[in-house]
């Protein structure tokens, strides 16, 4: 199953909600510091409810530390960005993908976007809406990958 990576997340309930989605799908969650909260934050814990024991979560001190580990394990970086090149449901997800999501206020930094193997966007017909909530975006990407990799097209 692809892994979810949050790059510099800022809002504890978003990260908690994403952790809950990861628990539901058995997906690894990787958090890259700096975080906009402490990992013990009660809002983070509350959003994840009592599912934290079911989340395989790893905190990385910086992008470089994460990147080194990810390269050793293999897999593509699929960056979710407002100006991505491929509609997220047209991406052909692979079991070893790393699904990258940037911070709520600034998205994926340019230097990290530059190393993504693929960039995905979530279409929004309302041009005046710039983006969706981070936890919604992560759930959409994760569950589309899950759908493609778990269910046949005939189901």
* Cβ count within 10 A of residue 108: 23
Tokens 């997800």 sit at which residue? 93
Query: Rounded CA gap, 134 and 117, in Å?
Result: 21
Tokens of 51: 């599912």
74 is in an annotated binding site: no
For 146, residues 6+ apart whose C-beta sits below 8 A from its C-beta are: 1, 25, 27
Residues marked as binding? 102, 122, 131
Residues marked as binding for S-adenosyl-L-methionine? 102, 122, 131
């Amino acid at each position: 199953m692809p892994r979810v990576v949050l790059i510099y997340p800022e809002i504890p309930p978003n990260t908690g909600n994403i952790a809950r989605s990861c628990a539901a799908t058995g997906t690894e969650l990787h958090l890259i510091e700096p975080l906009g909260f402490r990992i013990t934050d009660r809002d983070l814990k509350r959003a994840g409810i009592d599912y934290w024991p079911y989340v395989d979560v790893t905190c990385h001190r910086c992008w470089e530390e994460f990147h080194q580990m990810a390269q050793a394990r293999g897999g593509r970086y699929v960056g979710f960005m407002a100006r991505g090149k491929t509609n997220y449901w047209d991406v052909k997800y692979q079991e070893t993908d790393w699904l990258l999501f940037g911070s709520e206020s600034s998205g994926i930094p340019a230097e990290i976007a530059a190393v993504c193997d693929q960039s995905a966007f979530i279409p929004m017909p309302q041009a005046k809406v710039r983006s969706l909530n981070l936890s919604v975006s992560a759930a959409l990407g994760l569950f589309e990958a899950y759908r493609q990799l778990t269910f046949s097209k005939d189901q």
